[in-house]
């Protein structure tokens, strides 16, 4: 059973800010999430999960604050409760305690929030009375948290950075390390530029596995009963979410029968009259220095060949003699197999995806918008 949650800190999107926070608040376990021009450091003295980030990936975007309470254990009257406060689609506060204690701790969020989601059979009567218009039932539970939301031992993260830095040193950056031996009076916190580069690199979402998954995920939506339809498929980090909506006269029983055929790794969350069907990719970028050569331009030409429209191709310098090539484009009315082909092309390349949206048309066609980034020299 879940018994604790990590500490959380919202930091500027820089490695210097992360290093400073690590020095002020050391912890053997941590997990970093980067989004919306900020980074969120979850950290703790024991191994635990970033429950709030997991729930955020399951929920639709909200324009206002919201709160969620989920009963743990056996959901009896003495069960501990997990509480979450979200603002601007970011975790502000999470805590595990009794319901009465959480109502005190969450007094301000409860009044500020536009909706309060509850998964419990023993909700305090005064909560139901005071906030009756805000309360919605939720089917989300915490029976299983995917491993990618777990904190990781910081010692292993540092070991990966050291290994990556050693490999990069063989590529002609030995002189960079010699500079660290120069005596200097009372130096400030030393930030290894290659460690910073590795940090940014490994925080990206690899494009190949997500594109491959998306091509099969949208096809799953097309297998819905005739009285239900797919609204869209949207990427959020390592999560793909397919929104399913009912047609007029849709039968709940037909959707339930379809849901029962889904694999166990796929979750289904009710959102008003719709459902959000979600799956995570279990893939982490491994830091490596890639010599791009002529690939950036060839890949641009490949996208044109696939029918890319409104294609933006931007090359920008990055840290330590590396570069980033960003491709923003649309694929209107494209065959879903195009995504599988793009996955094959990007399989062994350091291409990362930060935005993907699929709008289904008549099978096998979809409208696609996408942002990819290539990192290398």
Confidence (pLDDT) at 171: 46
Dump pLDDT digits (tens) for 182-191.
444 444 555 5
**Confidence check: pLDDT of 168 > 50:** no
CATH number for 63-137 (one of 3.30.1360, 1.10.3910, 3.30.420, 1.10.3470): it is 3.30.420
Task: State the Cα angle at 42 between 322 and 165, rounded to 5°.
Answer: 30
* Domain residue ranges in the chain: 63-137, 204-377
**Confidence check: pLDDT of 74 > 60:** yes
Ramachandran region of residue 36, left (φ > 0), alpha (ψ -120 to 50) or beta? left
Q: The pTM is what?
A: 0.61
Nearest alpha carbon to residue 197 among 289, 292, 283, 284:
289
Q: Which residues contact 84 (CB under 8 A, 6 or more apart)?
A: 51, 52, 55, 67, 68, 69, 70, 91, 93, 94
Confidence (pLDDT) at 249: 93
């Amino acid at each position: 059973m879940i018994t604790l949650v990590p500490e959380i800190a919202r930091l500027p999107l820089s490695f210097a800010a992360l290093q400073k926070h690590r020095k002020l608040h050391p912890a053997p376990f941590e997990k970093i999430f980067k989004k919306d021009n900020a980074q969120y450091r979850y950290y703790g003295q024991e191994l635990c999960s970033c429950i709030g980030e997991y729930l955020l990936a399951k929920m639709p975007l909200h324009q206002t604050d919201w709160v969620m309470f989920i009963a743990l254990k056996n959901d009896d009257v003495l069960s501990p409760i997990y509480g979450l406060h979200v603002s601007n689609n970011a975790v502000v506060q999470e805590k595990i305690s009794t319901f009465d204690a959480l109502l005190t701790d969450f007094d301000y969020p409860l009044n500020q929030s536009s909706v309060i989601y509850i998964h419990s059979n023993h909700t305090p009567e005064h909560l139901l009375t005071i906030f009756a218009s805000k309360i919605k039932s939720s089917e989300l539970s915490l029976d299983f948290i995917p491993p990618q939301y777990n904190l990781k031992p910081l010692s292993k993260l540092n070991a990966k950075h050291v290994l990556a830095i050693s490999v990069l040193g063989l590529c002609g950056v030995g002189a960079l390390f010699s500079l660290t031996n120069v005596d200097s009076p009372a130096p400030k916190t030393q930030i290894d530029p290659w460690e910073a580069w590795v940090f940014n690199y490994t925080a990206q979402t690899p494009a190949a596995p997500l594109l491959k998954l998306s091509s099969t995920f949208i096809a799953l939506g097309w297998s819905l009963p005739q009285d239900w339809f797919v609204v869209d498929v949207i990427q959020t980090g390592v999560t793909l979410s397919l929104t399913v909506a009912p047609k007029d006269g849709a039968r709940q029983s037909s959707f339930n029968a379809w849901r029962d055929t889904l694999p166990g790794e796929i979750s289904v969350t009710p959102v008003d009259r719709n459902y959000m069907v979600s799956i995570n990719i279990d893939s982490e970028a491994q830091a490596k220095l890639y010599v791009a050569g002529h690939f950036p331009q060839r890949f641009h030409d490949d996208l044109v060949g696939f029918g890319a429209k409104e294609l933006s191709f931007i090359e920008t310098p990055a840290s330590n003699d590396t570069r980033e090539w960003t491709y923003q484009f649309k694929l209107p009315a494209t065959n879903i197999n195009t995504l599988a082909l793009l996955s094959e092309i990007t399989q062994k390349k350091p291409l990362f995806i930060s935005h993907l949206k699929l709008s289904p048309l008549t099978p096998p066609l979809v409208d696609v918008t996408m942002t990819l980034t290539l990192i290398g020299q």
